[in-house]
Structure 1
Amino acid sequence: MVKVVGIDHLVIRVGDYERSKRFYDRLFTFLGFEVLGDYGDQIGWTNGRTRFWIGEADEEGKRHPHRVGNIGFHHYAFELESREDVDALQAFLEQEGTTIVDPAGEYYDDYYAVFFLDPDGLKLEGMKWGARTQAAKGAAKG
C-alpha cells in the first residue's frame, strides 16, 4: 500500500504578486522560514519540513477574488510549538496591520489558535493543540 508521509508543499495564486510577496516574506521570516527559491514569477519558503509557494494569478483568475465559503481553499494552519507562540504571532500580525478574523483563544478542547487573512483574503491560522494534555501526562509521570 502507498503511504503518504507528509505534505511537501502548498502553492497558492495571488492577485498582486509584489504585495503578497512582501506579506509572506515578513510572515515567514517571523515564523523561521527561509526563501527556498525565487524565480521572478513565483517564490517559495521553507522551514526544512514545510514548503509554501506563491505565484501570480492569471488575468482570468484575478477577475474572481477569493471568498471563504467558495469551493476550494478554506484555510491553511501552521502548527506552532506553544500557546505563547500563538500569542506572539498575533502580536506580530497586529503590528503588521494584518486582518485578524478570530483572535488567539481556545477554539476546541485544548486547541489554541489565531486566524488571519493574507492580502487576498485567504484565511491562515497559527495553532497549538494538545499543550494541556501533554503537560498533564508529564505531571502524571513525574
Structure 2
Amino acid sequence: MGKILSHIDLRVPDLAAVDAFYRALLPALGFTEEEDIEGWLQFRSPDGSEFFGITASPGHQANQNRIAFWGESRAHIDRIAGIIQEHGARNIEGPAPYADIYYALFFEDPAGTRLEVTFKG
C-alpha cells in the first residue's frame, strides 16, 4: 500500500498567529520543503508524497480532533517539546511514556488545534 497520509489541510482563524509555530514544527517533523502558495503556509515531505498546509478561515474554531505524527525516537519527541514551548503552543501532556512501547507528547498549536507526536519502540 505504501504511504498512508496524503495531506493535511488545516484551517486556523489567523494564519499570521500560527506562522512562526508551523515554520519551526513542520521541518522538525520531516515536512522540509516549503511551497509558495498564496494564502497558504505549506510544507511537503522531501519526496513530495505528503504535505501539510495551513490557511486562514476567520470563522474557524478548533475542535477536539487530534493530528498525530510519528516521532523518530524519544529524543526527537523531547526536541519537539522544546520547539512547541518556544513557539507559543500549549503543552497538554508529556513528553512521557504511556505504555512500555508508547512515548508521546500531546499539545495544542497557538490556534488551539490538538496535535500529538508519538514514538513506538
TM class by smaller structure: 0.7 to 0.9
Tell me the alpha carbon deviations over residues 56-85 of structure 1, each in whole angstroms, 9 at most, x when there is no partner: 11x4xx1x52232xxxxx111110111111
Q: What residue number does 1:55 align with? A: 55
Q: Paired residue for 1:92, among 54, 63, 83?
A: 83
Q: Distance in 1 between matches of 2:78 and 2:89?
A: 14
Question: Which structure would you say has the larger RCO, counting Cα contacts within 8 Å and 6 or more residues apart?
Answer: 2
Q: Distance in 2 between matches of 1:95 and 1:6?
A: 30
Give the greater-gyration-radius structure (CA). Answer: 1
Are the counterparts in 1 of residues 88 and 109 from structure 2 also a CA contact under 8 Å? no
Shift of the 34–4 alpha-carbon distance from structure 1 to 2, 3 Å rule, reads closer
TM-score (norm 2): 0.83
Q: CA deviation at 1:121?
A: 0.7
Q: 1 or 2, which has the higher helix percentage?
A: 1
Paired-residue identity, %: 28
Q: Distance in 1 between matches of 2:86 and 2:11?
A: 25
Structure 2 stretches lacking a partner, 5+ long: none
Shift of the 32–105 alpha-carbon distance from structure 1 to 2, 3 Å rule, reads same
Are the counterparts in 1 of residues 42 and 51 from structure 2 also a CA contact under 8 Å? yes
Q: What residue number does 1:123 align with? A: 114
Q: Paired residue for 2:21, among 20, 23, 45?
A: 23
Q: Paired residue for 2:61, among 65, 71, 75?
A: 65
Q: Paired residue for 2:95, among 99, 104, 113?
A: 104
Tell me the alpha carbon deviations over residues 83-110 of structure 1, each in whole angstroms, 9 at most, x when there is no partner: 1111111122223342100110112341
- Equivalent residue of 1:88, what SS? helix
TM-score (norm 1): 0.73
Q: CA deviation at 1:55?
A: 1.2
- Equivalent residue of 1:113, what SS? strand
Are the counterparts in 1 of residues 67 and 116 from structure 2 also a CA contact under 8 Å? yes
Q: Distance in 2 between matches of 1:76 and 1:7?
A: 11
Are the counterparts in 2 of residues 35 and 43 from structure 1 also a CA contact under 8 Å? no
AA matched with 1:120:
A
Structure 1 stretches lacking a partner, 5+ long: 69-73, 132-142
